[in-house]
Structure 1
Amino acid sequence: MTDTPLLAVRDLRASFPGPEGPIEVVHGVDLELARGEKVALVGESGSGKSVTARAVLRLDAGATLTGRIELDGTDLLTLPPRRMREIRGSGVGLVFQDPLASLNPVMTIGWQITQPLVIRGVSKKVARRRGVELLSRLGVRDAERRFDDYPHQFSGGMRQRVVIAIAIIAEPALLIADEPTTALDVRVQAQVLRLLHELADERDMAVLLITHDLGIVAGFAERVVVMRHGLAVESGPVEEIYARPRHPYTRALLAAVPRIGGDLSRPLATIGSAVETAEEGTVSPS
């Protein structure tokens, strides 16, 4: 890690209104990303990883956030809404897990790709040229013609490329990818992850990958942060965490991953039972 990280999250807490008062779902999370670094935030559904990631852009209107979220030294929690809108896209890009739900079905994909530039004063002609170039770079064939197509005319993998184009066309320093491969088949998953890896290296762009799939983390991220029940329970280099996990929950997650050549007669461990066993010191990550 550098002395001045691109993103520094300190003691982040997130609460939502409940019937009997605020309910805290993220409990004092610390997180850092250096420029150009790829970090995975992993955990089960409901662990708080997506809320943590969305908090960086203050996307949950009903959430009360405390702590500090510093991007290049600026605390995003202190900024007015207008300034936050400027940072979304230019400072931080976001890729959601469901590309179809992320896209406006009645607007062309070209219009949607160019909006992050147009609203920042770039001419429509220049924005279109840059959008077509980027879409072609992302592997969409005949990008000039397809630029005026609608989301329903694209496959799931192609729609995800469109969403990535929207997220990075303004050249953000940080990209948050929230379960970007969940709805895709294994082959397309690999393509999308390879693409994100190449883009991060080319642009010196930091990537925060949100996922529950430990299998894709090993080939993509440099560091991993494990979350459970709104807490960051373990973090460190991927190789170290996978080889020598310290927390019972991390060991349980790894124990539940299917392995090629494993004993097919034995059921996979569930997270709950595996954590209980791990806390007794009997679970091995191998």
Structure 2
Amino acid sequence: MTSALLSVRDLRASYPGPAGPVQVVHGVDLDLARGEKLALVGESGSGKSVTARAILRLDTDATLSGRVELDGADLLTLPPRRMRAVRGARIGLVFQDPLAALNPVMTIGWQITQPLVIRGVPKKAARRRGVELLARLGVRDAERRFDDYPHQFSGGMRQRVVIAIAVIADPDLLIADEPTTSLDVRVQARVLELLHELTDERDMAVLLITHDLGIVAGFADRAVVMRHGRAVETGPVDDIYRSPRHEYTRALLAAVPRIGGDHTRPLVTIKEGGQ
């Protein structure tokens, strides 16, 4: 890829353990262009979320190595102050659990506008933009609900709030960590549709983290399949689904229940061990 917005090379992440450092990300490579949607896919515990957190340097106890370049600047070597300026402004993050990600004692409006206010945008202008964005994301009576608290919103509405926080500063890259977890199918479809629209309108790249192969098929352009903290297969989604090369990818696809399939046969399970 000649014009990658995000280029990750040999990314490794280790965390302290009782017997010494434990490496959980092993030399991950990936590229992501502007306007592209890339999925990190694999089982729970495969290293997807840890890879995303390493890109953003969110875990202070992690030891990171390799290169994570955003428009050519290595994020792993940026001073902490400059890295904080990247988060929110250049890279937005949608957390997996919107209720846990939101401050229960602050209004959702205050939380939505903070990425703008801390960068010097006047509060009135930030509020106006926040209300417009919340309405755009499908929250009815956005002006009034702007002063409500997280517990007053449903799961799907809280997910919209978290997306608003992540995109209000017009980031170049959005990292969405399991954005449809615990949502019903109808709300899942609407959230993914919103991400599609935002990507097209803003030429924003999306790094989607998910274990749901159905979502990957309907949303992403390319996919990186991860297992045990390693990227075992990378390529266009259509190619991976049509002719997976790695045995783990084939096992993941075989484990997906299919409508109209032979329900008398046991589901395929993925064996432990190996790479």
- Answer yes or no: same fold by TM over 0.5: yes
* Distance in 1 (alpha carbons) for counterparts of 2:63 and 2:191: 33
Residues 1:128 and 2:140 aligned together: no
Contact map agreement 1:39 1:225 (CA 8 A) in 2: yes
Report the equivalent of 2:55. Answer: 56
- What pairs up with 1:218-257 in 2 under 5 angstroms? 218-257=217-256
TM-superposition CA deviations, 1:132-159 (whole Å, max 9, x none): 0000000000000000000000000000
* Structure 1 runs (4+) greater than 6 angstroms displaced: none
- What pairs up with 1:2-151 in 2 under 5 angstroms? 3-151=2-150
- Aligned pairs, how many? 275
Aligned amino acid, residue 31 of structure 2: E
The 3-state SS of whatever aligns with 2:250 is helix
Report the equivalent of 2:259. Answer: 260
* Distance in 1 (alpha carbons) for counterparts of 2:78 and 2:182: 34
Query: Normalization by structure 1: what TM-score?
Result: 0.94
TM-superposition CA deviations, 1:213-268 (whole Å, max 9, x none): 10110110000000001110001000000000000000000000111101111221
Aligned amino acid, residue 15 of structure 1: S
- What pairs up with 1:173-188 in 2 under 5 angstroms? 173-188=172-187
TM-superposition CA deviations, 1:144-184 (whole Å, max 9, x none): 00000000000000000000000000000000000010111
TM-superposition CA deviations, 1:189-232 (whole Å, max 9, x none): 11101110110011000000000010110110000000001110
* Distance in 2 (alpha carbons) for counterparts of 1:265 and 1:101: 40
- What pairs up with 1:263-274 in 2 under 5 angstroms? 263-272=262-271
* Distance in 2 (alpha carbons) for counterparts of 1:94 and 1:266: 40
* Distance in 1 (alpha carbons) for counterparts of 2:162 and 2:53: 16
* Distance in 1 (alpha carbons) for counterparts of 2:41 and 2:270: 14
C-alpha displacement of 1:45: 0.9
The 3-state SS of whatever aligns with 2:60 is coil
Contact map agreement 1:117 1:169 (CA 8 A) in 2: yes
Query: Normalization by structure 2: what TM-score?
Result: 0.98
Residues 1:209 and 2:204 aligned together: no
* Distance in 2 (alpha carbons) for counterparts of 1:138 and 1:71: 27
Aligned amino acid, residue 157 of structure 1: G
Aligned amino acid, residue 60 of structure 2: A
Aligned amino acid, residue 212 of structure 1: H
C-alpha displacement of 1:118: 0.1
Aligned amino acid, residue 267 of structure 2: L
Q: Percent identity?
A: 82
* Distance in 2 (alpha carbons) for counterparts of 1:260 and 1:91: 41
* Distance in 1 (alpha carbons) for counterparts of 2:235 and 2:15: 29
The 3-state SS of whatever aligns with 1:7 is strand
Contact map agreement 1:97 1:183 (CA 8 A) in 2: no
* Distance in 2 (alpha carbons) for counterparts of 1:257 and 1:191: 22
The 3-state SS of whatever aligns with 1:41 is strand
Structure 1: any 5+ residue segments left out of the alignment?
Answer: 280-286
Aligned amino acid, residue 8 of structure 2: V
C-alpha displacement of 1:4: 2.4
Report the equivalent of 1:284. Answer: none
